[in-house]
Amino acid sequence: MKITIAPRARIQGKPQIPGDKSISHRAQLFGALAEGVTTITGLSGGGDVRSTGKCLADLGVKIEAMKDGVTQIHGVGLRGFQAPKRPLDCGNSGSTMRIFMGFLAGQNFSSELVGDASLSQRPMARVADPLSRMGAKFEMTNGSFAPLWVRGQGRLEPMDYELKVASAQVKSAILLAALYAQGKTTIRGEIHSRDHTERLLPFFGVPVEVSADAITIEGGRALKANAISVPGDPSSAAFWLGAALVARESKVTIEKLLLNPTRIGAMNVLRRMGAELEMKTETEFPEPVGTVTIRRSALRGTMISADEVPSLIDELPLLAVLATYAEGVTEVRGAEELRVKETDRIDAVAENLRRMGATVETFPDGFRIKGPQPLRGAVLDSFHDHRIAMAFSIAGLGATGVTEIENADSVEISYPTFFDTLDELSR
């Protein structure tokens, strides 16, 4: 699908944001691993989260859509899954494939995991390597890719592991594998990525010890069903914050938004760039949730380095677009992970910005943009990546002339109603 974006002067309102994608995956999966019936309110309806649901259904988990947006998961416990009769299709979802590798490694059966063309090019050895130290067995295409087989070993060994990549997907896979190991598993090193698994396992009754430099979990503990309400996804909300910053006349308020400190890096950066952004946390448990308001503001460039990257990794394509509106240089470094997302997001951002007439310098681990640079409408591509489609829709709002984005239907992965909400806000 190709979408046409005309410049808009006004962005105003209170958009409805889909449930957080990371929490939605975990709520379904932990509900399945638990004993009893878990109710989830506000589950994301995006393609990735549906992939997790379909894979769980193929493992024998009953998932029911109730009224008023409530989903019920009939938990089967750590050992109640059925061997899948067909390959588990993770679609475009890296979180599904990587996190499933963790708990599937501890089952008494084998599973095949497959994904779409993009997911089949994303590295999986980063999960298989640490899990192999626990006794897990995998067979992967060309050593690191899907289609891949998880040869369930029934029981795994605990370990003390130094994590090398700041990835919540890898960290979560290890924590789930650790449930199938006798004794304590500890993860050290790059542990400061999003911490939803560490927060939600205790919410489902399994203690996790978290200190400044280590995460420890003891195996063999059963999860207990719970009721969870999924807050709005800050990585989806970020596009409306961006829209408010590029439109001339704007005020956007977002309620019931996830404000977990490991997820609000982009909001902190926008404030540093000069955005008039208010953030108010209203409830804290099991995840911080609150309200954010933003108004049109003049922006200045900023430096984003490795330690900040995990807290805003999914927002970097949008921040690149906003850098063209900011006065001065914006430079992002230590973000080599962008090259192994749904597409190579450094190249995709640079290619689209250049098509809009901007100058961008790229590095293996980031980019440098000197602003302000007026953008002009152009024919762009999402490269089948939802975040690229949405970031460049925002670019189009402030450009001169009309922007067309090919393969814009990729927004369906995390934000199926994105273009409807864009129309509502600019009415």
For residues 108 and 57, what is the distance between their CA atoms, to the nearest angstrom?
Answer: 18
Q: CB 88: neighbour CB atoms within 10 A?
A: 23
Interface with ligand S3P in residues 342-371 (CB under 6 A): none
77 or 334: CB nearest ligand S3P: 334
For residues 30 and 24, what is the distance between their CA atoms, to the nearest angstrom?
Answer: 10
Q: Rule CB under 6 A: is residue 22 a binding residue for ligand S3P?
A: yes
Stretch that binds ligand S3P, among 161-169, 262-270, 275-283, 317-325 (CB under 6 A): 161-169
Q: Rule CB under 6 A: is residue 319 a binding residue for ligand S3P?
A: no
SS3 281: strand
Choose, by CB under 6 A, the member of 113, 252, 313, 413 that binds ligand S3P. 313
Stretch that binds ligand S3P, among 168-176, 211-219, 372-380, 393-401 (CB under 6 A): 168-176
Q: Rule CB under 6 A: is residue 95 a binding residue for ligand S3P?
A: yes
Set 195, 314, 385, 409: catalytic member: 314
Cβ 59 vs Cβ 112: under 8 Å: no
Choose, by CB under 6 A, the member of 111, 169, 185, 311 that binds ligand S3P. 169
Cβ 172 vs Cβ 26: under 8 Å: yes
> Nearest approach, Cβ of 313 to ligand S3P (angstroms)?
5
Cα distance from N-terminal residue to C-terminal residue, the chain: 23
Q: Rule CB under 6 A: is residue 308 a binding residue for ligand S3P?
A: no
The helix (run of H) or strand (run of E) holding residue 88 is strand 88-89
Q: Rule CB under 6 A: is residue 89 a binding residue for ligand S3P?
A: no
222 or 306: CB nearest ligand S3P: 306
φ, ψ for residue 238, nearest 5 deg: -55, -30
59 or 175: CB nearest ligand S3P: 175
Stretch that binds ligand S3P, among 167-175, 243-251, 292-300, 323-331 (CB under 6 A): 167-175
Choose, by CB under 6 A, the member of 92, 193, 311, 343 that binds ligand S3P. 193
Is there a catalytic annotation at residue 314?
yes
Q: Which residues have a Cβ under 8 Å from the Cβ of 142 and sit 6 or more positions away?
A: none
> Nearest approach, Cβ of 387 to ligand S3P (angstroms)?
8
For residues 378 and 381, what is the distance between their CA atoms, to the nearest angstrom?
Answer: 10
> Nearest approach, Cβ of 425 to ligand S3P (angstroms)?
24
Site string for ligand S3P, 233-272 (x = CB under 6 A): ----------------------------------------
φ, ψ for residue 380, nearest 5 deg: -115, 175
151 or 333: CB nearest ligand S3P: 333
Q: How far is CA 415 from CA 68, 254, 256, 411, 418, in A?
A: 19, 15, 16, 5, 5
For residues 343 and 341, what is the distance between their CA atoms, to the nearest angstrom?
Answer: 5
What does the DSSP assignment read for 6-51? ---SEEEE----PBPHHHHHHHHHHHHHEEEEEEEES---SHHHHH
Q: Which of 321, 273, 320, 278 lies closest to 301 in space, CA to CA? A: 273
Question: Which residue has the CB atom at the shortest distance from ligand S3P?
Answer: 22
Q: Rule CB under 6 A: is residue 314 a binding residue for ligand S3P?
A: yes
Q: Rule CB under 6 A: is residue 28 a binding residue for ligand S3P?
A: no
- Identify the bridge partners of residue 145 per DSSP, sorted by sequence position: 141
Q: Rule CB under 6 A: is residue 167 a binding residue for ligand S3P?
A: yes
Q: Is 44 exposed, middle or buried (0-12, 13-18, 19+ CB in 10 A)?
A: buried
Q: Rule CB under 6 A: is residue 44 a binding residue for ligand S3P?
A: no
Contacts to ligand S3P by CB under 6 A: 22, 25, 95, 167-169, 172, 193-194, 313-314, 337
The residues assigned a catalytic role are: 314
